[in-house]
Structures are given as C-alpha cells and as structure tokens.
C-alpha cells in the first residue's frame, strides 16, 4: 500500500537526477556491471552464434554442423542457404514474409486494442464480480487444453463452411485465434501497469466532466504506451514464431506464414535442410529486433513524460 502511494505521488513530478562524482567504489561497481553484462551476453548469444553459423553451413543437419563452416570454397557456398531461400521456386520466401508480417502485425494491433480496453475497465471501473471475472479469465487460461487443437480445428472448419474468410486457409480464422488465444495474459499484464498510473489523473478529468471514453483515449492511452508497446511486441513475436497452429490451419503453400514454410524444411524426421531452416529463422528474428528498437522509446520514456503533461 505504502509503496504504491509512493509511485502515485512521485509520478506527478519528474525531477532530473543530478550526477554524482565517481568514487572508487563506483568504479568497482561499474566494472562489475560490465563484467556481468558481458557474461550475460555470452550466455544469451552463444546459441544464437550457433544458429548464425548453421545458416552459413552447407551441411544439412545439426549433428554434422561445425561452429566454423567447413569446406567453403566460394561465397556462393557460404550463402547457399540464403540463396536457396530467396531463389528456390518452391519457396515463395518474400510472400511468406509478407503473410507473416500481415498476420503478426494485424493480430498484435488487435490484441493491443482489445486487451487495453478490458484492462482499462478492470483497472478503473468498479462493478460487481469484477474480481471474480478477473480471476476467472486467469483460470480459463490456466486450463491445460489437451484437446484445444482438435476443438479449434473443428471450430474453424465449421465456421469456414459458411464464412470462408474465417475458415481454413484464411488469415481471418488464424488471426482470430491468435487474438483470442493469449487474451487473458495480456489483460493481466496491462492491468498491472494501468494500476500504476495514478488514479487522481482520471479523477480530476472526471470532475471536469470527461466521459470514460475521453479519459481513456486522451489521458490514459498516452500514459500506458510502454505496456502497449510491450504487449504488442510480445504478441507480434509470439505470432511470428508460431507454426503449430498456422500449420494446421493454412493448407496452401502460397498462404503459409514464414514459420510454417520454414518448418516444412525440417518437418520430416530425416530431412536435411537444417541450414536453410536456420537462415530463415534468423531472418524471422530481424523484424522483431527492428520493432523493438523502434518501440524502445515508448517503452523507456512512457510514464514519466506523460505524467508531466497530465
């Protein structure tokens, strides 16, 4: 209770923190911090290094791969996996990328919109059974859905008979599932952040006669941009790297998302397209990292900047 009050009052005014002169202990601390960062990065990046190496490795399986690609005689061989991705007529790579970006972008936007509305309501309004509802949606998500795949497949199949744009081999159905699938978690994540936005902001606006809709769009929305960015990014990444669901629902090669297409390279128990798969997977990571770099300014600068205005 006390801690949250601290946030509320503190957030009202942003004060620039004066820099202190570096002391010896500070230098030691700094060195320790750098060392930790280096170790952290090494741990995080070593397997990635392996993926990078695989993408330049002509050998077809993981077991036969070496960290430094062997037997490379020409640049062509070095980039063989990438050329195959871009040039193989059976691999409409850019189309897959486009499909992926469309599905991931569209569904993460919808997720942000729909989840933030709910999170706002749960955070700001008081209504009967609010807690129960909030807990219920959490519990629903906890259910180990051993048959979810069967149920969802059957559902999409049946809806698709009458509404093709929500059926099998359509993005509508797939996106609907992506949007609904992680809803509870996203609402929870957002609500947690919404709760840290001081209530006096909307209370004072309410006194001025603003409707909840106005308060939400004009005051709250700008303030919660960090969490919107985080949720959007999480949804985007999750959608982009999913292949289980997309593989079941998309049946035409031209309509596949990138991950489904890439998965087809390693799907067979004895397939030897590991390098191509790794190359494609690395390229999948690019939009996520780019998006993160772009969203960082929202994530990092959000709350306090907005609070000054409020």
Partner 1 sequence: MKRLFSLMVAGGAALLLTMPVLAQDRPDLLLWADSTRAPALQELLAQFSEDYGVVAQVQEIGMGEIRSNLTVAGPAGEGPDIVIGAHDWLGEYLQNGAIVPIDLGSKAADFSPSALDLFTVGGQLYGMPYAVENLAFFRNTDLVPEAPETWDEVFAITQELVDSGAAPRGWVVSSNASYDFQPVMSAFGGYVFGRNDDGSYNPQDIGIGNAGAVAAGEYIDQYVQAGYITPDIDNDVAVTLFGNREAAMMMTGPWFLNRVRESGVPFAISAPPAGPAGPSMPFIGGQGFMISAFSQNQLLAQAFLTEFMATTDAMLAMYNIDPRPPAFLPAVAAIEDQDMVAFQQAGANGIPQPSIPEMASVWGAWGNALQFIINGELTPEEAYTQAQAQVVELIGVLDAAPTSVGLVGTVQMFFGCPADWAPECPNTFMVADGDTSFSLSTAAIPAGDYEIKIALDGTWDRNFGMGGAAGGDNIPLAVAADGTLLVFSFSTTDNVLTASEGSAALVGTVQAALGCPGDWQPECAASELASNGDGTFSLSTTALTAGDYEVKVALNDGWGINYGADGVRNGDNIAFSVPSDGAAVDFVFDGTTNVLTVNVAG
Partner 2 sequence: MATTAAQAANSGGFAAPSLKWSTALQALLLLLVDGFGAFLAYNIWQDGNAFFAIVIVLTLALITVITLVPRLWPLKWISPALALMILLSVYPLLYTGYIAFTNFSDGHRYTKTEAVELLAERRYLPEGGATYAWSLYQNAAGAYGLWLTNQAGESFFATPEGMFTAVSGEAPGEYEGYALLEGGARFRALNSIEGVTFGDAENAVGIQSLETAGAFEQQWVYDAAADALTDRATGVVYTANNTTGEFTAPDGSAAPFGFWVSVGFDNFGRIISSALSQGPLIRVILWTIGFAVIGSLSGFALGLAAALLLDGQSTWLRVLRAVMIVPYAVPGLVSVLVWRGMLNANIGIIPQTMESIFGWAPPFSSDPGWAKFAILLVNIWFSAPYFMLIGSGALQSISSQVYEAAQVDGASRWVQFWKITLPLVLVALGPLLIASIIFNFNNFFLMEALFGGGPPIAGTSAPPVGHTDNLISYTYRLAFSAGGTKDYGLASALGVVIFFIVGILTLLQFRLTRTWEQVSENV
- Residue 76 binds partner 1 (CB under 8 A): no
**Closest by alpha carbon to 217, among 84, 103, 113?**
113
Taking CA 67 as the corner, what is the angle to CA 76 and CA 97, rounded to the nearest 5 degrees?
Answer: 55
Q: How many CB atoms lie within 10 A of CB 242?
A: 20
* Rg, the chain, Cα only: 24
Cβ neighbours for 166, distance < 8 A, ≥ 6 positions apart: 156, 159, 160, 172, 173, 176
Nearer to partner 1, 133 or 248 (CB): 248
Dist CA 62 CA 54 (whole Å): 8
Nearer to partner 1, 111 or 168 (CB): 168
Nearer to partner 2, 18 or 89 (CB): 18
- Residue 68 binds partner 2 (CB under 8 A): no
Closest distance of CB 43 from partner 1, Å = 23
Closest distance of CB 217 from partner 1, Å = 26
Dist CA 233 CA 289 (whole Å): 10
Nearer to partner 2, 75 or 146 (CB): 146
- Number of residues binding to partner 1, judged by CB under 8 A: 31
Dist CA 251 CA 4 (whole Å): 51
- Residue 267 binds partner 1 (CB under 8 A): yes
- Residue 85 binds partner 2 (CB under 8 A): no
Q: How many CB atoms lie within 10 A of CB 8?
A: 15
Considering only 69-77, 84-92, 249-257, 276-284, which stretch makes contact with partner 2 by CB under 8 A? Answer: 276-284
Considering only 72-80, 81-89, 91-99, 145-153, which stretch makes contact with partner 2 by CB under 8 A? Answer: 145-153
- Residue 51 binds partner 1 (CB under 8 A): no
**Among 117, 164, 165, 308, which residue interacts with partner 2 (rule: CB under 8 A)?**
117
- Residue 241 binds partner 1 (CB under 8 A): no
Q: Provide the greatest CA pair distance for the chain.
A: 74
Classified as helix, coil or strand, 267 is coil
Nearer to partner 1, 9 or 158 (CB): 158
Dist CA 90 CA 99 (whole Å): 16
- Residue 268 binds partner 1 (CB under 8 A): yes
- Residue 299 binds partner 1 (CB under 8 A): no
Dist CA 242 CA 233 (whole Å): 14
Considering only 47-55, 188-196, 261-269, 287-295, which stretch makes contact with partner 1 by CB under 8 A? Answer: 261-269
Considering only 8-16, 219-227, 267-275, 289-297, which stretch makes contact with partner 1 by CB under 8 A? Answer: 267-275
Three-class DSSP labels, 116-157: HHHHHHHHHCCCCCHHHHHHHHHHHHHCCCCCHHHHHHHHHH
Considering only 5-13, 26-34, 101-109, 264-272, which stretch makes contact with partner 1 by CB under 8 A? Answer: 264-272
Site residues for partner 1 per CB under 8 A = 60-64, 90, 150, 153-154, 157-158, 160-164, 167-169, 247-248, 251-253, 264, 267-272
């Amino acid at each position: 209770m006390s801690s949250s009050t601290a946030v509320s009052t503190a957030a009202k005014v942003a004060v620039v923190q004066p820099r202190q002169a570096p002391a010896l202990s500070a230098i030691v601390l700094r060195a320790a911090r750098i060392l930790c960062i280096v170790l952290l990065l090494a741990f995080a990046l070593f397997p990635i290094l392996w993926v990078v190496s695989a993408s330049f490795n002509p050998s077809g399986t993981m077991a036969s791969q070496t960290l430094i690609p062997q037997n490379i005689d020409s640049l062509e061989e070095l980039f063989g996996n990438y050329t195959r991705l871009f040039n193989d007529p059976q691999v409409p790579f850019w189309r897959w990328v486009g499909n992926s970006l469309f599905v991931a972008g569209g569904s993460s936007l919808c997720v942000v919109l729909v989840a933030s509305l709910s999170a706002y309501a749960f955070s700001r309004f008081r209504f009967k059974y609010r807690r129960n509802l909030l807990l219920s949606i959490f519990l629903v998500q906890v259910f180990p859905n051993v048959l979810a795949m069967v149920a969802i497949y059957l559902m999409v199949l049946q809806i698709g008979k009458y509404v093709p744009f929500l059926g099998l081999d359509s993005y509508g159905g797939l996106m609907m599932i992506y949007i609904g699938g992680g809803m509870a978690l996203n609402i929870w994540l957002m609500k947690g952040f919404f709760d840290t936005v001081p209530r006096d902001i909307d209370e004072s606006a309410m006194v001025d006669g603003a409707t909840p809709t106005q308060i939400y769009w004009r005051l709250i929305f700008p303030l919660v941009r960090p969490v919107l960015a985080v949720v959007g990014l999480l949804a985007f990444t999750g959608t982009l790297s999913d292949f289980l669901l997309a593989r079941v629902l998309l049946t035409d090669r031209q309509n596949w998302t990138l991950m489904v297409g890439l998965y087809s390279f390693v799907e067979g128990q004895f397939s030897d397209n590991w390098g191509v798969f790794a190359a494609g997977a690395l390229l999948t990571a690019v939009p996520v990292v780019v998006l993160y770099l772009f969203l960082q300014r929202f994530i990092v600068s959000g709350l306090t900047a907005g609070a000054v205005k409020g």
